[in-house]
């Protein structure tokens, strides 16, 4: 079975992290987010994946190439204009052969895709939507179903009083080729607003398949940070100090810490995990890092403090600066003694798209 992953959005809510990096390439545990998704698809038997690209497509093609590094066959389908969530699938029609999967490229779902596909086959649906329960459905697309799991209605971002279910569209679909005939070519079309309602109106069977596995969309910096911390907490129960990293004997670690072997950790540094440190980072003497993600090549000078924050590539944090609950774009220099946060987002010097 083939899959289409939608990775052409601008990721505006994830700015400033997505100013110079496509959302699909933001690092999660020091590997591009998309690599985690591709590995999961491979584990469920998907062999060919169409990447539906638009905005900032080049870094994705350059990194993944033909897909051989991750063990899947990759095909690139690049839009001239954004075609929404369904339009790109129509554009990729030539690469689809029989039943196929569609995934939002900003969702990490530890779902049993094999069982969703099997349930789809048994039900005779034209489309099966993976569903996940959330505490607050008002910012998502809620799916109402019959007792047998047949989709009855979609309510996009319902007001609190309209909420009748906490099961939301998880952004992973199994589809029959027939669905393609409900997507007009060459124009922006959304599954959520256009195609799914049209299928329901035509009386086509659509089913929801509830999953209870871990699910998160990395649409915002907070959720992006959360995914890193959750995955690190899950995968490693002890601090990881690769032999290659230059760690001063007085540095102290607690919790799970991902530390590549080309990093330098100075005297008296304290790192409280979960924390992800990117390649070629340096943590100067006396600095403190907790519950944060550093991308590659950043430098914390002496006695810095970074907590609950994300710092993108190649930033320099001046001596004694304090960064709390904030997000820094790439290549920023923070003045010595600066206090950043809580809740601050700093854009890279090069700016960011239209802003």
Contact at 8 Å (CB) between 237 and 274? no
Contact at 8 Å (CB) between 175 and 100? yes
CB of 10 to ligand GTP, least distance (A): 5
Residues in contact with ligand GTP, counted by CB under 6 A, come to a total of: 23
Is 141 one of the binding residues for ligand GTP (CB under 6 A)?
Answer: no
Q: Quick one: DSSP state of residue 8?
A: -
Cβ neighbours around 165 below 10 Å, total: 16
Is 157 an annotated catalytic residue? Answer: yes
Cα separation, 107 vs 82, in Å, equals: 19
Torsion of CA 221, 227, 233, 238, to 10 degrees: -70
Is 105 one of the binding residues for ligand GTP (CB under 6 A)?
Answer: yes
Is 102 one of the binding residues for ligand GTP (CB under 6 A)?
Answer: no
Is 341 one of the binding residues for ligand GTP (CB under 6 A)?
Answer: no
Interface pattern 47-76 for ligand GTP (x via CB under 6 A): -----xxx----------------------
Task: Kindly tell me which of 189 and 340 has the beta carbon lying closer to ligand GTP.
Answer: 189
CB of 271 to ligand GTP, least distance (A): 31
C-alpha distances in angstroms, 338 versus 181, 221, 341? 57, 21, 10
Contact at 8 Å (CB) between 112 and 172? no
Is 85 one of the binding residues for ligand GTP (CB under 6 A)?
Answer: yes
Is 219 one of the binding residues for ligand GTP (CB under 6 A)?
Answer: yes
From 12, 30, 222, 226, residue interacting with ligand GTP (rule: CB under 6 A): 12
Contact at 8 Å (CB) between 51 and 66? no
Is 23 one of the binding residues for ligand GTP (CB under 6 A)?
Answer: yes
Chain positions contacting ligand GTP, by CB under 6 A: 6-14, 23, 52-54, 79, 82-85, 88, 104-106, 219
Q: Could you list the active site residues?
A: 157
């Amino acid at each position: 079975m083939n899959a289409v992953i939608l990775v052409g959005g601008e990721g505006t809510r994830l700015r400033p992290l997505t100013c110079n990096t496509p959302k699909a390439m933001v690092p999660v545990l020091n590997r591009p987010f998309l690599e985690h998704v591709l590995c999961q698809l491979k584990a469920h038997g998907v062999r060919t994946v169409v990447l539906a690209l638009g905005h900032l497509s080049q870094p994705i093609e350059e990194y993944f190439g033909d897909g051989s590094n991750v063990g899947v066959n990759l095909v690139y389908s690049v839009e001239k204009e954004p075609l929404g969530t369904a339009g790109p699938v129509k554009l990729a029609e030539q690469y689809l052969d029989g039943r196929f999967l569609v995934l939002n490229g900003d969702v990490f779902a530890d779902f049993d895709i094999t069982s969703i596909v099997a349930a789809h086959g048994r039900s005779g649906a034209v489309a099966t939507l993976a569903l996940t329960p959330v505490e607050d459905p008002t910012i998502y697309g809620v799916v109402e179903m019959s007792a047998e799991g047949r989709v009855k209605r979609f309510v996009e971002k319902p007001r609190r009083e309209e909420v009748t279910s906490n099961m939301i569209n998880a952004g992973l679909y199994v589809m029959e080729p027939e669905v393609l005939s409900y997507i007009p070519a060459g124009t922006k079309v959304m599954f959520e607003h256009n195609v799914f309602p049209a299928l329901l109106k035509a009386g086509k069977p659509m089913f929801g398949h509830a999953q209870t596995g871990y699910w998160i969309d990395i649409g915002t910096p907070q959720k992006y940070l959360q995914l890193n911390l959750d995955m690190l907490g899950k995968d490693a129960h002890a601090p990881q100090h690769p032999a290659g990293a230059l760690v001063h004997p007085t540095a102290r670690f607690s919790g799970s810490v991902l530390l590549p072997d080309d990093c330098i950790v100075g005297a008296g540094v304290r790192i409280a995990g979960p924390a992800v440190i990117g390649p070629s980072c340096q943590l100067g003497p006396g600095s403190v890092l907790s519950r944060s993600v550093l991308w590659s090549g950043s430098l914390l000078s002496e006695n810095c403090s970074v907590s609950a924050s994300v710092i993108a590539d190649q930033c320099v944090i001046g001596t004694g600066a304090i960064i709390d609950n904030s997000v820094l774009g790439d290549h920023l220099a923070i003045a010595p003694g600066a206090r950043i946060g809580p809740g601050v987002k700093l854009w890279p010097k090069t700016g960011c798209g239209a802003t």
